[in-house]
Chains A and B, each alone.
Chain A
Amino acid sequence: QKEVEQNSGPLSVPEGAIASLNCTYSDRGSQSFFWYRQYSGKSPELIMSIYSNGDKEDGRFTAQLNKASQYVSLLIRDSQPSDSATYLCAVNQAGTALIFGKGTTLSVSS
């Protein structure tokens, strides 16, 4: 059974702080790794994708991948109240369906 594990949270951080979200996955054959943001009642929105070990930065977001440890993380710098949402970690092999974690709820207080 392929699984993706995330802490459900809620993770609470003050505005301007760094939010750190973590994810582990069970399938060593996983090739693609994604972070989606989902607001209540809305569908997921892709915010980061990463395919190789190391860091990938995009604006305030940094994704980190360590395939040896089967670990993916997302850092959100200068967190804003608008970042409050559920963050879904997802993995797959090329072209196949995504396997989602249950999501981590982030709350950023102003």
Chain B
Amino acid sequence: GAVVSQHPSWVICKSGTSVKIECRSLDFQATTMFWYRQFPKQSLMLMATSNEGSKATYEQGVEKDKFLINHASLTLSTLTVTSAHPEDSSFYICSAIASGGAVLYEQYFGPGTRLTVT
């Protein structure tokens, strides 16, 4: 159980275009999802916290107008990278907290999306 999917798994886009990444909890409801970014040989850095039905909370230094997050349902959060630039190339990973149950606080990660901006 507790499976999180992401789509697409990898994407290449041209500089200036926008890219949408989906994060879905497949077998549980997730009131809270998180978006992380990981550059090569570095640890995961939290970008934002996404709560179903409300605005996302962004970490300091993350541009909310550039990284648009929508959490429209208990099983889906999306991250849109607008006007992407080569420095946005990274590994984007979402995670979700299962709502209720015995493993309330455990977070499960999606498989990640490799974004390359040319």
Task: Using known A-B contacts A98-B95, A100-B43, A102-B43, determine if residue A46 contacts B108 with beta carbons closer than 8 Å.
Answer: yes
- In the bound assembly, the distance between CA atoms of A44 and B108 in angstroms comes to 9
Known A102-B43, A103-B43; contact A95-B108, beta-carbon cutoff 8 A: no
**A42-B43 in contact given A92-B105, A98-B34 (Cβ < 8 Å):** no
Q: For A88, give its contact among B44, B103, B106 (CB under 8 Å).
A: B44
Interface SS majority for chain A: loop
B13 at the A interface (CB under 8 A): no
Is A95's CB under 8 angstroms from B109's CB? no
Which residues on B sit within 8 Å (CB–CB) of A103?
A: 43
Q: Is B54 an interface residue (CB 8 A)?
A: no
* A51 vs B93: C-alpha distance when bound (angstroms): 24
Residue of B32, B49, B112 touching A42 (CB-CB under 8 A): B112
Structural contact, B111 and A42, CB atoms closer than 8 A: yes
Neighbour of A46 across the interface among B34, B44, B93, B106, CB < 8 A: B106
- In the complex, what residues of A have CB within 8 A of residue B116's CB? none
Residues of A within 8 A of B109 (CB): 36, 43-46
Q: A43-B93, A43-B111 are in contact. Are A97 and B106 (CB under 8 A)?
A: no
* Beta-carbon nearest neighbor of A4 in chain B: B43
Interchain CB contact under 8 A, B43 and A101: yes
Smallest CB-CB separation from B6: which chain A residue?
Answer: A43
CB neighbours (8 Å) of B44 from chain A are 44, 88, 98, 100
Which secondary structure dominates where chain B touches chain A? strand
Bound-complex Cα distance A45 to B114 (A): 17
Max chain A Cβ within 10 angstroms of own Cβ: one of B95, B107, B111 = B107
A49 adjacent to chain B (CB < 8 Å): yes
Beta-carbon contact of A97 and B111 below 8 Å: no
Smallest CB–CB gap between A103 and chain B, Å? Answer: 6
B-side residues, CB < 8 A to A, are: 32, 34, 42-44, 46, 49, 91, 93, 95, 97, 103-112, 114
28 contacts between A and B (CB under 8 A): A32-B106, A34-B106, A41-B91, A42-B111, A43-B91, A43-B93, A43-B109, A43-B110, A44-B109, A46-B106, A46-B107, A46-B109, A49-B103, A49-B106, A88-B43, A88-B44, A92-B105, A94-B104, A94-B105, A95-B97, A95-B104, A95-B105, A98-B34, A98-B107, A100-B43, A100-B44, A102-B42, A102-B43
